[in-house]
Amino acid sequence: MEPDNTGHATTGIGHQDLPSEESLGSASPVKQFALASILIVLGALIAVNFVSSRVERDSVISRLETEALESARVSTFRIVEGISQITEPTAGTFLTLPDDTAVIDRIVLSALVGQQVARVDILGTSGEILYSTDPYYIGNDSEYRRGPTYATSEYVGAAAISGLDGQTSLIEAVISRIPVYTEGSIPGTDSLETIVVIYRDVASAIDAATGAGARFRLGMTMGVMAIVFASLMIVVMRGHRAQTESRKKLRELLVHEHILVSELDQRNADLRSADEARLRLLSVVTHELGNPLTSISAFISILSKNRDRNFSDREIRMVAAIGRSEVQMRLLLDDLVDLSRVEANELELSIAPVDITDVVKGVVESMTPVADEKSQTISTVFPNGVVSVDGDRARLDQVITNLVSNATKYSPVNTEIKISVSVESSLCVIELTDQGIGISKEDQKKLFTPFFRAENAQTREVYGTGLGLVICKQIIELHGGKMTLRSAQGSGTTFRVEIPIAENDDQSAIAA
């Protein structure tokens, strides 16, 4: 099997590769092919099922945490109200508990009627457990005595809990921590009256929510496996036919299988259409691809060291091709990681004063050998003094490097790339102009869409992922700036980057 340009698997069978009548009669190679194909498809389906199950379970847990928090707020209000009615505290005093724990038991049980609650703790202001439905814990310091001033819920997984019925059992717990403050006061240590901690069993809710999806995926897996198995068995059973007829039937089956796989991919894409699920799946994929790429890189290094002694010229070229593919995959993986962090708002910037002119000079120095290969020149225009912004130097270097790299790739030989840095009001402005192929008005509308690449002869000759500019634009926007462009097809392109000047920067020195 080998990938086609759509990303799907193809059989790669040509006229010369089709089996002869004798081999079809024995059917041994065909049976081996059938078995291998079934195992590959089964493995792929199991992997898809596993990832989909994880994403679905995480989504269900997130929903249950939200529901548990809302229920815990209501229950806490009822518990505090019930205790207050008995102890009758005066205005401005802290909540006190009755001496009779049986009274508190009745109040707690009444507040939690119909809920899957396994345990309730009421803490004092110092974090000591003053009351618990499991008396064993009364008097101990609670691990939830410290936390934010607002109510929270967290899924903690398996936990052994002595429940309201006195029986100890293993549950899947969502723990809600609800701090209670003096009415009308600002939440804080001085106004904290108590903290109510509620342990809720969500095992049955998780099973109920994920069961339908699991049955659907199992049915899908069995259905696809049945279709693939039936298709391959047809090939085996018709092996005795003439060579021409065998080729025709085999092509029909392969086309049919390709359609089925395409339909399955589309259904999986629809299931991953929710943004949260898509981001989590992307995170899993990038993590899982990293280890195999590391192994591939290590094997390439070993093979390269021994190639002169053990390999033919053809094998040396193959090792080099594998190495180039590994580098491209590594670049794609890095882009995917950056994209997932950006879209999940998890891209962290190490903010510090950065001299933009120094960054541009460094990029020009590193990219000049690349431009020299195409007899291109890179010219720069800088203002006097330091142009300082508050930013992440590595990320700003990444943006400028990407823009210069694109300019060299999409510009012909013997052309000039111009980079200028200037100050306009409170903005640092970087403009990069090339004499390349340009971008049509229609393509400019899609340029900052993930995976988009213009469809023309010039762009097809250059490798790219369609993610670089998307990531660059997001990085600049995280710095409080913006990225725009001016271009016309066949007339070159100018990218303009605007970033706020650092607050403590001496603009008079910059503009001098």
Specify whether the CB–CB gap between 186 and 167 falls below 8 A: no
0.85 exceeded by the pTM? no
Contacts of residue 74, defined as CB under 8 A and 6 or more positions apart, other chains included, come to none
- The first and second tokens of residue 413, run together, are 């030989």
Average pLDDT over residues 384-407: 91
The C-alpha angle 10, 12, 15, rounded to 5 degrees, equals 135
- Going edge to edge, which strands form the sheet with 129-132? 129-132, 117-123, 192-201, 168-181, 152-162
Q: pLDDT (tens digit, 9 = 90+) per residue, 25-80?
A: 444 565 666 677 777 877 777 777 777 778 888 888 888 889 888 988 888 888 88
pLDDT band at 299 (very low <50, low <70, confident <90, very high): low
Average pLDDT over residues 166-185: 80
- pLDDT the model gives residue 190: 76
Q: pLDDT (tens digit, 9 = 90+) per residue, 304-315?
A: 676 566 667 776
- pLDDT the model gives residue 114: 79
Per DSSP bridges, beta strands 416-424 and 377-381 are parallel
pLDDT band at 413 (very low <50, low <70, confident <90, very high): very high
Question: Rounded distance, CA 122 to CA 394, Å?
Answer: 49
pLDDT band at 23 (very low <50, low <70, confident <90, very high): very low
φ, ψ at 483 (rounded to 5°): -125, 130
Question: Rounded distance, CA 34 to CA 37, Å?
Answer: 5
φ, ψ at 395 (rounded to 5°): -70, -40
More confident: 231 or 97 = 97
Catalogue the long-range contacts made by 266-272 (C-beta closer than 8 Å, 24 or more residues apart): 267/220, 268/48, 268/52, 271/52, 272/55
Q: pLDDT (tens digit, 9 = 90+) per residue, 333-374?
A: 666 666 666 766 767 888 999 999 999 999 999 899 989 999
More confident: 466 or 198 = 198
- pLDDT the model gives residue 356: 95
Average pLDDT over residues 209-231: 73
* Average pLDDT of the chain, as a whole number: 77
**pLDDT tops 70 at residue 160:** yes
Which among 49, 79, 179 has a CA at the least distance from the CA of 123?
A: 179
Question: Rounded distance, CA 226 to CA 20, Å?
Answer: 27
Average pLDDT over residues 424-445: 89
**pLDDT tops 50 at residue 512:** no
- pLDDT the model gives residue 50: 76
pLDDT band at 494 (very low <50, low <70, confident <90, very high): very high
